[in-house]
Amino acid sequence: MNTINTSDYIGELKSLLHDQNIQIEDILSVEDIKAWCVERSIPETNPWRTGKCLRNSKTGDYLILMAARITTEMVNSILGAISTRGFDTTELNNEDSFLIHLLFHEVGHAKNANWTESECNQFAFEELRKTKANR
């Protein structure tokens, strides 16, 4: 896969959140997630972060951040991690499916703060399949 420009997909991704029983205030395509967090005194140490879910402590709503540019290396590193957790990543080998899975992975974290990375991946695969079935 080539570098993914997430801003091209934000509108589509937002439309997928309507069925989720969760208050998400926005999805932002952010140039550098770590820098964005540091500027706002939000803890973040990973310079290669591709997605992050934040909770607004005043409203309780969630904000999802996505890296504006997800490079081939970032994609491969994520697919490697998902595959290490025992999942077949074949269906994530296109920009659209990769981003939908990434989005729902972050939504999984928002829905249940105690979920593991594997549980968020499982949830994301299920939601990706539902999304494809509804097209």
CB 50, min distance to Zn ion, A: 10
Segment 88 to 117, residues that bind Zn ion, using CB under 5 A: 117
Nearer to Zn ion, 10 or 109 (CB): 109
> What is the Cα 29 distance to its own chain's centre?
11
Give 33: exposed, middle or buried? Use CB within 10 Å, 0-12, 13-18, 19+. Answer: buried
In terms of Cα–Cα distance, which of 57, 67, 9 is closest to 35?
67
Residue 14 vs 85, nearer CB to Zn ion:
85
Residue 52 CB, nearest approach to Zn ion (Å): 9
Total Cβ atoms within 10 A of residue 90:
9
Minimum distance, C-beta of residue 115 to Zn ion, in the bound complex (Å): 8
Q: Specify the residue, 89 or 135, whose C-beta has the smaller distance to Zn ion.
A: 89
CB of 109 to Zn ion, least distance (A): 6
Closer of 32 and 117 to Zn ion (Cβ): 117
- Report how far residue 44's alpha carbon sits from residue 73's, in angstroms, rounded to the nearest whole number: 20
Q: Give the nearest distance from C-beta 42 to Zn ion in angstroms.
A: 16
**122 vs 72: CA distance, rounded Å:** 23
Q: Which is nearer to Zn ion, 58 or 79 (CB)?
A: 79
Give the binding-site size for Zn ion (rule: CB under 5 A).
Answer: 1
24, 64 contact by CB (below 8 A) = yes
Which residues contribute to the site for Zn ion (CB under 5 A)?
Answer: 117
